[in-house]
Amino acid sequence: MAAVTPILPGDAGEAPAAGAPARPGRPARRRVWRGVVLIVAAAYFLVPMGASFWFTVHSEQQGFSLSTYAEILSAEGFAASMLLSLALAAATIAVVLALTLPALLAVRLGAPRLRPVLEVVCTLPLVVPPITFVTGISTVLRWGPDYLAATPFWATLIAIQDETFPVVLVMAYVVLALPFVHRSLDAGLRAVDVRTLVEAARNLGASWPHVMFRVIIPNLRPAIASASFLTLALVLGEYTVAALLGYQTFPVWIVTVSGANGRLSVAVSILSLLITWLLLLVLSGAGTKRKDA
């Protein structure tokens, strides 16, 4: 059924050219094609959700049962991979904010000529597909034994690949998150008169750390929250880099477990979707509320 969905709206596609502009005359026809488009879209987007939920709760032998979801928590590797992903996310958020916020403030306050540089630097990761990025990273890591074995860099290279907490993944994720964090923070800074705030605070004798933590960050809270949520969603869902560098993060674990237990992997997928969506809904909810206020 979903196989034909892409074609259906295409058929309805003749309608808007003829129907939509006839605003005064033929509302009925417009309503019909609009209904068709919306129903087809709803079917295409909702059916996989429903079907995959049914897949996890129904089986020929046992009938209806939620036991698959109960299995998740005790499944081997679930807790470890989830904890690793969460720890990576926390580290990534901290690093990316600590790097981006001062840079953007600097651009606002006294170095506008750096703005295009920052924009390019923060857009580049979008041009480079993650798979090519990880190719580059693994090339560098493979250089180690060849060129660096006798230098202090060698120890560093080993240290950042530690299995229990791979710093190299944090570095990669910071790069991947840069475009989104830059966009959120830049939009946030645009809405606040940073210069006046900083000058007022400095004239009143506030120290720089005080200005940063008591004046600027509170004013940017929505932007910082949205940047953090996006980064969290990104890290929790990232598969490519972790899989190819050989770390068992949460998405990698889902793929690993799918070989042995298909039902479980679908159940975990649904759960991780719900978590990500909740995060993003909270985010968009927070955004609209602030706009109304």
Q: Which helix (H) or strand (E) holds 64?
A: strand 63-64
The span from the CA of 271 to the CA of 174, in Å, is 25
Cβ-in-10-Å burial (0-12, 13-18, 19+) of 252 comes to buried
- Nearest residue (CB) to other proteins, 164 versus 196: 196
Q: How far is the CB of 57 from other proteins (least distance, A)?
A: 11
- Nearest residue (CB) to other proteins, 154 versus 239: 239
Token pair listed for 101 = 């916020």
The span from the CA of 256 to the CA of 74, in Å, is 16
Q: How far is the CB of 83 from other proteins (least distance, A)?
A: 18
- Nearest residue (CB) to other proteins, 80 versus 263: 263
Q: How far is the CB of 55 from other proteins (least distance, A)?
A: 4
Are the beta carbons of 125 and 181 closer than 8 angstroms?
no
Q: How far is the CB of 87 from other proteins (least distance, A)?
A: 18
- Nearest residue (CB) to other proteins, 22 versus 79: 22
- Nearest residue (CB) to other proteins, 51 versus 83: 51
Reference 204, options 192, 193, 213, 215; nearest CA is 215
Are the beta carbons of 85 and 232 closer than 8 angstroms?
no
The span from the CA of 190 to the CA of 108, in Å, is 9
Q: How far is the CB of 245 from other proteins (least distance, A)?
A: 10
Q: Could you please report the per-residue DSSP string of 265-276?
A: HHHHHHHHHHHH
- Nearest residue (CB) to other proteins, 178 versus 201: 178
The span from the CA of 124 to the CA of 110, in Å, is 24
Reference 69, options 264, 273, 293, 274; nearest CA is 264
Q: How far is the CB of 37 from other proteins (least distance, A)?
A: 4
Q: How far is the CB of 221 from other proteins (least distance, A)?
A: 19
Q: Which residues of 189-228 are buried (b: 16+ CB within 10 A; e: fewer)?
A: beeeebeeebeebeeeeeeeeebbeebbeebbebbbbbbb
- Torsion over CA: 90, 91, 96, 97 (sign): positive
Interstrand relation of 58-59 and 63-64 (parallel, antiparallel or unpaired): antiparallel
Q: How far is the CB of 119 from other proteins (least distance, A)?
A: 8
- Nearest residue (CB) to other proteins, 57 versus 90: 57
- Nearest residue (CB) to other proteins, 59 versus 70: 59
